Structure 1
């Protein structure tokens, strides 16, 4: 549940103004301490007028920030699926109620059937979700990795940006830590995403935590919300077949 929200939201012109927007909740401002949104939004290059997909947006923390950053002329698609909706749906409903973020639309679709419009997006944001491409459980549909990245790639405009933020695993472990620790090897991630039709552009160190041994599940209280995280920026490879 979010508190301290107002319905008259002023949408600001820059990422820094997005973070400082007075309509943001106290809970979101508390999360800012570990998510460092000023630095993240600045790095990823979100701009007014963009159309951005917040993939598996959860309660909508980034969706709200993006709403302010893209301005009224821009658009944010806040995506979720049935599993996420069962966990974070109440928070998201509170955030978006009464049309308080009018340039945000919600998309509830499963990962293998996103049904995104071709060449419609300037940016796709994946925050702590990429590792779930390789996670399996009774409650989580098995992801068709090739189809998933094809959907993302085809939805992006030429020059479109894919941003991936995730919990780092021990080096040289590939995808293996995704199942039990909800982490993934960052070198594997870079190579995997490049092979799926994206060109690596840059990385940010803003969410690094060298004291994280990368051996604990990200839900362990000793490291929760303080994991070592990599932040990657990719560009759609228009020559990929």
Structure 2
């Protein structure tokens, strides 16, 4: 593709997403320079990819977000999600909304993002949601707060769902009572009917030792066995589509809490993609 054509595509996407920075260079920024696996790009056009890069490079992002890009690797996650302009997606247990904002700028004014939290996640997020969404800063974002088992997602309305370090919390049985007992099966029973046929669900989470009981590993380490994630989501009616190794860290032995300085932001992480059958 010629440089002139790529720049023309980027300018078109930027005008839709409301970005104020010049189009991205022909090569993505350094954080995005490592190509995603081939499977991760199979559903995206050049225009779709340009929208993702423009969102990450937007100068109007909330202060501090770009400082986290190096370890969050948003280009890999969002490319794997195959999110596109005009879509409606949910950032599931979105907390402070780092990914919600990126999704908002990608889907643009014709799309919508649901920043979904339960009351505990919203409380944990402090002032960040107010800073991010206040004064209609991201007008295509809708905040939704509800227990997972009661989440009122509209049937057949979503093109995608993103779980970033949040699926394991559906298994959390906090000894100190700071987290309500949640039921992953019931949570998925609310989400899956809201997905359109062909919709994409991506889960990124910390890896526990194979066979670990999530009732133990989640409370102690905030990790879970990826096999349980795959089992749950397939049982809910979705089809496993692909796995990315973008967050693999072979040096992590899966035994340390994720907040341990030795592994923080360097844990071995699983990145799975599922599709709702058409």
Unaligned runs of 5+ in 2: 1-16, 21-49
Count residues with an aligned counterpart: 230
**Residue 94 of structure 1: which of 131, 138, 143 is its match?**
131
Output one character per residue of 1:43-101: Cα deviation in whole Å (capped at 9) or x when no partner.
21000010001111011000000001111111001011221122213011111111111
RMSD, matched Cα: 1.7
Tell me what 1:161 maps to.
Answer: 200
1:1-241 equivalences under 5 Å are 10-11=18-19, 14-137=51-174, 138-175=177-214, 176-237=216-277
Contact 2:18/2:108 (8 A) holds in 1: no
Question: How many Å apart are 1:160 and its aligned residue?
Answer: 1.2
Contact 2:185/2:232 (8 A) holds in 1: no
Larger radius of gyration: 2
**Separation in structure 2 between the aligned mates of residue 166 and residue 220 of structure 1, nearest angstrom:** 16
Contact 2:80/2:202 (8 A) holds in 1: no
Question: How many Å apart are 1:237 and its aligned residue?
Answer: 4.0
Contact 2:81/2:160 (8 A) holds in 1: no
**Separation in structure 1 between the aligned mates of residue 221 and residue 169 of structure 2, nearest angstrom:** 11
Select between 220-229 and 103-112 the one with higher mean Cα deviation: 220-229
Tell me what 1:6 maps to.
Answer: none
**Separation in structure 2 between the aligned mates of residue 203 and residue 46 of structure 1, nearest angstrom:** 16
Select between 205-214 and 136-145 the one with higher mean Cα deviation: 136-145
Q: Which has the higher helix share?
A: 2
Tell me what 1:4 maps to.
Answer: none
Contact 2:202/2:273 (8 A) holds in 1: yes
SS of match in other structure, 1:112 = helix
Contact 1:48/1:70 (8 A) holds in 2: yes
**Separation in structure 2 between the aligned mates of residue 229 and residue 196 of structure 1, nearest angstrom:** 22
**Separation in structure 2 between the aligned mates of residue 54 and residue 192 of structure 1, nearest angstrom:** 19
Contact 1:174/1:188 (8 A) holds in 2: no
Misfit runs of 4+, over 3 Å: none
Contact 2:237/2:276 (8 A) holds in 1: yes
Select between 11-20 and 107-116 the one with higher mean Cα deviation: 11-20
